[in-house]
Structures are given as C-alpha cells and as structure tokens.
A and B are shown apart, each in its own frame.
Chain A
C-alpha cells in the first residue's frame, strides 16, 4: 500500500513534518467487498485532429452505454473520461501513463487505432488496466500475450476471407480490382482479399491515407481498363465515398465492395447516388437485432449510429457489468471479462484466451435506398 510522508509547505520547507497518512482510502481496489461508486471508464482515441470523426463515433457509443447505466443506477454512478490521443502514437504513451495512475479507472474502451495501441497497450499491460478496443483490427495485436488486451470485433484476418468469399460466391466475379489506402487496416485487409481471390484479381492500385486524397481519376481509369466487375477497397469511409462517386462518374459500372471501415452514414452522404448497390462487410450483427440501441443513439446524438459506435457501446457494457458485479480490481476485471458472455448489439460478446472475440459472424450489408441494410450472413 501507499505510504505518504509530508514534508511541509515549500515556502517553509525547512522543517520536515514527518507524518504518515494512510493513502488507502481512495484506493478503489481495496473495496471489492462493498459496492464501489464514482468509478470511471476511459475512452482512449482521437477526439481532435484528422481522425477525430472515428474517435467521436466510438466515444458516443461508450457514452451512451454509461448514461444508460447511470439512469438505472442513479445511486452509484460511473463516469466516462476521455483520453484524446489525437490518434498520435507520440502522445498516446503519456496519456496511458497518466491513465494507469488513476485508481478509479477500471477499464479503457480503446485505444482506437492499431498504431496507438502498439504504443499504449504495453503500458496498460504492465499496470494491469484492462482495455477493450472497439476498432483496432490489426491481427498482430493479440499475439503479444497481453492479458489486459481485448477487442470486441473480428480482426482483419477474419473479415478479409469473408469479403473474398462473398465476392467469389455471391457476386460471382471473375475479375476483381483491389485497392487500399496503405493504412495498416486497409492494406492488411486488401492483401488478404488479394490472396484469397488469387487469379481473379484483375488489377490493383493504392491510394493515399484516409482523408489525404481527393482525386482518384487515375485509379478509376485503371479499374475501368482492367475490365473488373467488382472493386474492392480496403480503407475508411472518407476516401471510399469519394472513390465510389468518382468511379461511377468516371464510367465504372461494377459493384463497389468495402469492409467495416466504410459502414458509416458518411459513406452514403458523401458518395450520394453512387453509393447505391455498394456492399459493405462487417463482423457485426444487423441493427434490427437490437433496435433499442439504434433508437437511443439517434435520440442522444441526432444521427444514426456510425462506424464502431455499436462496438464501443458493447465494450463499455462489458466494463459496466463488471462494475455492477463488483469486480473492480485489475485481476478480478480480467477474469470477469474472460468469463463474460452475453448478447450485445453487435454479437454475442465473449472473448477467447487471447482477448479476441470468440464468435465472429461476418455479415454483408448492401446500400439500398440510401440506407445500409443487411444482405446476408457470410458463412
């Protein structure tokens, strides 16, 4: 336990007033018997900077879960604190080091991106602060043996093959153009799709990172001249919406296929009519399985749930259930998450030993009438 010595006010620091004070009262960890209140859940990701849009989606999802919890447990509230990393791996370690000193903080929803995860997760692991990421899908993250690492969505290695399967079996495409945004997420995904499609890949091209490119005319030309009937894009919705529009305007008539980074209202808004008919795969259940979430989110934020909002909602609920069960120490929480199993908004939430979701079902969604509607489960 902590022992604190007082050495007096700095202005009269000459006299050392040695008096030990018990620093244990604010140690949430020691109160696992009774019910601990005023606990916190952290959100860790970008709220400012270029990637702020995705971060805000995630934070909103987690915030909704927390406010719903507080409505039901008004006598013992939980607060959500934000660690705005700006998606910058240089800033992430400082925030993580600060986060782990907060004894009231029992879990982190995040870190949002794979890059900052690599910089911050070792710190969380060492300090025993549990994390559930709602968006970092790099497969290598779960291979480090970190006990505190969890993520609530399937990694790129589960989604890529499903996307390839859908393109081959359902769209029956024999010529596919594969593109990505050179990001860890997009490129990882596109490489898997390319490998699985094999000889069906008619051509490929890469674009700049999300939000860093506006004009895709050369990629459009390439896609057209490859004779492909399907265009797969590994990336996020900002680039994807511009690309889908320019493909259509440029005269490409095939189907646009992308993964969960594109499952966002922003894609449809940005691409307009060009989004119609596009296929989006996602390792998440259709929202009609949990209509209350959809409605509550819309009520709270005046927009439909966006990319990763539902995942964040589920992730926060895992921690909230842990708090409710009184599992507030690090080891208790780790064990609680390890044995957790309940129906969430996106899936039946359950984690395997590595912190990966135990059950991942990948669904294909289709943009119809300006809405992303479920098409079928990819089995």
Chain B
C-alpha cells in the first residue's frame, strides 16, 4: 500500500518538477487520450457487457458530481448526505422547462437549472447550516428524500412516477465520422462500419455526450482550482479545520459555508441537467438516497479535498461495477468489502490532498524527534 502511495506521489512530484512547456505538452496529451478513450477502446479497460461510451459518460458525469460535492465535504467540511436532491432538481428543471411544460432549448435550460439549484442550495443551507457536524448529515439526508418524494407526489408539475420523456438534446453539428478501433488481442483494427459522428447527439451513441460531460468537467475543474486558491478557498479551509478559531480571526464562517453549499448545489444541478439530456427520460426513481451515499463514498474514497482524487474515485466506483459484471450478483457484496478494505488500509483516501500529506509528514517528524529526545 505504501509503495502505491509513494509511487503516486512520486509521479506527482516528478510532474511538478518538469519545465512549464513539458507540463503543458503532457497535460494536453493526457487530455487528448482521455477524450479518445471510447474511440480507442483500450483492451483490459474497456467494458465488455455494457457499452464503453455509455460507461465513460457515467464516469464523467459522476466525476462532475464528485467535484461539486468535494467543495461541500472536502473544502468546507460539511457532510452532505442529500446531494442527490440537487442533482434531481437540476434534472427536473431541464425536464419541466424543456419538455413537460415548455419548449426551451437545452442550452438555455442548463443555466436556468444551475440558477434554480443554486437558489435551492441557499434556501436549504440558510437554516440548516447553523446545525453542526453530524446533525447536518441527517438534515441533508432528509432533504434529499423530501425532494424525491415531492417529485413523486407533485404529478401536475413533474408527471409523478411516469416521469418526463423527450427531454431536448444539445444542438448537433454533424461534421465528420470517427471510426472506432477494435482489438484482436493486442492488435488494433480500424472498424469503418462503426463510427461516431462528430458531433451528433443521438440515443444510440453515448460518445458525444461523453465529450460534452468531459468538457464540462474540465471547465468546472478550472473554476474549482481558481476558487480553492483564492481567499474563498483559504476561508473554507480555516472553517473546516476549526470553525471557532476561524470566526475569531474574522472569517464570516456562516457566509462561506453557505457559499460552499450553494456552489456545490449548482454543480450538482449542472450534472443533473446533463444526466437529463443524455437520458432523455427521467423519473423520480432515479434519485434515491443510495446515490447520495455513493457520492459521499466517491469523495471520501478519493481523498476529501483533492480534486484529482475524487475524480479518480468517481470514475473507479462507476467503472468497476460495469467492468466486473461477470461477477453478476456478487458485485455489490464485493463493492462493500472493497469500501471496508479501503477505509481500513487507505484511510486518507486514494489521493489525499497534498496539504494533509505534508501535515502528516510533519507530525511523523515531530513524533520521531520527541521519541528521540525520550531515548536520550
């Protein structure tokens, strides 16, 4: 386990030590590779029982969710067990405005969905963020259930359990076709009969949606990075580490917590909107507590506060159950065991934030010094 950790951090350190131009080249190469994943269909990674493009779309979608929830849990330290509620509000805003009760084009629906979830984040956060710690967990869990039940019961608006169909797709630009690769062992072949149209959004091909989701992930990541490295990010950290001390130092903690909550909510809404347009059909059954739990698991397993960690965990936790479909009904048993094993052997998450790694190393050094002193 330690070897893996050292390896990952070694890679990170190497990367940071590179000259600027090399960093940019490497980053672009990695990004291109990620975009082309469903076209390349790399053996061993590709899923055999479910469409790889569709699985990758879900990975990117949940990565977006995890980035949003990471702001709430990882940066501000607020345990939110009702994140699926914002996801649902985003999805249903698009459904209601774009199909059930209106005909607004998708590109307009998405910002509206984000605004609505931002607003609902403030409305929920303003009263509840005054309760602390574990109380917040149950209050938000309740909120997630309330959202779902209201969606089920308000038939007039949401169609109840029938849900909403024919949700608008993003505008298509049919420019050219991209042939997929097929693999025969480790030999790649170009399959001209199986092409993805660039960029045609249709029910049979998930890859354009994957590209869209991935683009949104990169945009949100950039904003997330800017935010974390600003005064806001430092205020969140201070609040998370010691709320009273932060308050004493003049940080308006409540306002910053609310900001984190609402920002997280808006990203949740964005992901929900993306989900709705990909699915083209939504009903409230998609949005149960279990998803909230899964989202929290992604953030914690990834390493709360490390945006790359949570992305990795989101992708892994989405991809693994699809990859290991051959295990059929034992998958969830194993999923549970893996979560437990991770908690026990990797308690800081897959990629803990650098700050906490540094803190831990400093702690260890102090301990060694203290012990050394004791032996003298």
A residues near B (Cβ < 8 Å) are 1-11, 13, 21, 23, 47-48, 52, 82-84, 88-91, 93-98, 100-101, 115, 118-119, 122-123, 126-127, 138, 140, 182-184, 187-188, 206, 209
Q: Which of A7, A47, A98 contacts B328 (CB 8 A)?
A: A47
Q: Is the CB of A48 within 8 A of B328?
A: yes
A138 to B159, CA, bound (A): 14
Q: Which of B49, B184, B187, B281 contacts A118 (CB 8 A)?
A: B281
A34 to B162, CA, bound (A): 44
Subset of 13 A-B contacts with CB under 8 Å: A6-B189, A8-B188, A23-B191, A84-B329, A90-B275, A93-B54, A98-B51, A101-B194, A119-B279, A122-B203, A123-B203, A182-B152, A187-B160
* Interface of chain A: mostly helix, strand, loop or mixed: mixed
Residues of B221-235 contacting chain A, CB below 8 A: none
List of 9 A-B pairs having minimum Cβ-Cβ separation, nearest first: A94-B54, A97-B51, A2-B193, A94-B50, A184-B161, A98-B51, A118-B281, A5-B190, A122-B203
A residues in contact with B2, CB < 8 Å: none
12 further A-B pairs in the complex, CB-CB below 8 A; given A1-B193, A122-B280: A4-B193, A21-B189, A23-B193, A93-B206, A97-B206, A98-B50, A101-B194, A115-B163, A127-B204, A138-B162, A184-B162, A187-B161
A residues in contact with B239, CB < 8 Å: none
How near does chain A come to B87, taking the closest CB pair, in angstroms? 11
Q: Is the CB of A11 within 8 A of B186?
A: yes
A123 to B221, CA, bound (A): 32
Q: Is the CB of B186 within 8 A of A9?
A: yes
How near does chain B come to A218, taking the closest CB pair, in angstroms? 16
Instruction: Please tell me if B165 contacts chain A, counting CB pairs below 8 Å.
Output: yes
Q: Is the CB of B49 within 8 A of A97?
A: no
Task: Name the residue on B nearest A83 (C-beta).
Answer: B49
Bin the interface of chain B by size: 35 or more
A184 to B202, CA, bound (A): 26
Q: Is the CB of A10 within 8 A of B283?
A: no
Task: Name the residue on B nearest A125 (C-beta).
Answer: B203
Instruction: Please tell me if B331 contacts chain A, counting CB pairs below 8 Å.
Output: yes
How near does chain B come to A94, taking the closest CB pair, in angstroms? 3
Q: Is the CB of B165 within 8 A of A118?
A: yes
B residues in contact with A183, CB < 8 Å: 161
How near does chain B come to A58, taking the closest CB pair, in angstroms? 15
B residues in contact with A4, CB < 8 Å: 182, 189-193
Task: Name the residue on B nearest A95 (C-beta).
Answer: B50
Q: Is the CB of A3 within 8 A of B206?
A: no
Instruction: Please tell me if B322 contacts chain A, counting CB pairs below 8 Å.
Output: yes
Task: Name the residue on B nearest A184 (C-beta).
Answer: B161
Q: Is the CB of B322 within 8 A of A94?
A: yes
Q: Is the CB of B286 within 8 A of A89?
A: yes
Q: Is the CB of B283 within 8 A of A98?
A: no
Q: Is the CB of A48 within 8 A of B329?
A: yes
A residues in contact with B54, CB < 8 Å: 93-94, 97-98
Q: Is the CB of A10 within 8 A of B162?
A: no
Instruction: Please tell me if B153 contacts chain A, counting CB pairs below 8 Å.
Output: yes
Q: Is the CB of B331 within 8 A of A118?
A: no
Q: Is the CB of A126 within 8 A of B165?
A: no
How near does chain B come to A249, taking the closest CB pair, in angstroms? 27
Q: Is the CB of B161 within 8 A of A88?
A: no
A188 to B283, CA, bound (A): 15
A6 to B152, CA, bound (A): 52
How near does chain A come to B204, taking the closest CB pair, in angstroms? 5
Task: Name the residue on B nearest A208 (C-beta).
Answer: B149
Q: Is the CB of B58 within 8 A of A94?
A: yes
Q: Is the CB of B161 within 8 A of A126?
A: no
Q: Is the CB of B190 within 8 A of A7?
A: yes
Task: Name the residue on A nearest B55 (C-beta).
Answer: A94
A residues in contact with B204, CB < 8 Å: 97, 100, 123, 126-127
Instruction: Please tell me if B255 contacts chain A, counting CB pairs below 8 Å.
Output: no
Task: Name the residue on B nearest A48 (C-beta).
Answer: B329
A303 to B177, CA, bound (A): 52
A183 to B163, CA, bound (A): 10
A residues in contact with B182, CB < 8 Å: 4
A307 to B332, CA, bound (A): 25
Q: Is the CB of B286 within 8 A of A94?
A: no
A6 to B190, CA, bound (A): 6
How near does chain B come to A376, taking the closest CB pair, in angstroms? 31
Residues of B171-188 contacting chain A, CB below 8 A: 181-182, 184, 186-188
Q: Is the CB of A90 within 8 A of B332?
A: no
Task: Name the residue on A nearest B148 (C-beta).
Answer: A209
Q: Which of B162, B193, B282 has the most chain A CB atoms closer than 10 A to its own CB?
A: B162
A278 to B58, CA, bound (A): 44
A374 to B289, CA, bound (A): 40
Q: Is the CB of A90 within 8 A of B162?
A: no
How near does chain A come to B67, taking the closest CB pair, in angstroms? 19
B residues in contact with A11, CB < 8 Å: 186
Instruction: Please tell me if B285 contacts chain A, counting CB pairs below 8 Å.
Output: yes
B residues in contact with A89, CB < 8 Å: 279, 281-283, 285-286
A9 to B100, CA, bound (A): 50
Q: Which of A8, A90, A100, A184 has the most chain B CB atoms closer than 10 A to its own CB?
A: A90
Instruction: Please tell me if B354 contacts chain A, counting CB pairs below 8 Å.
Output: no
Instruction: Please tell me if B23 contacts chain A, counting CB pairs below 8 Å.
Output: no
Q: Is the CB of A93 within 8 A of B203?
A: yes
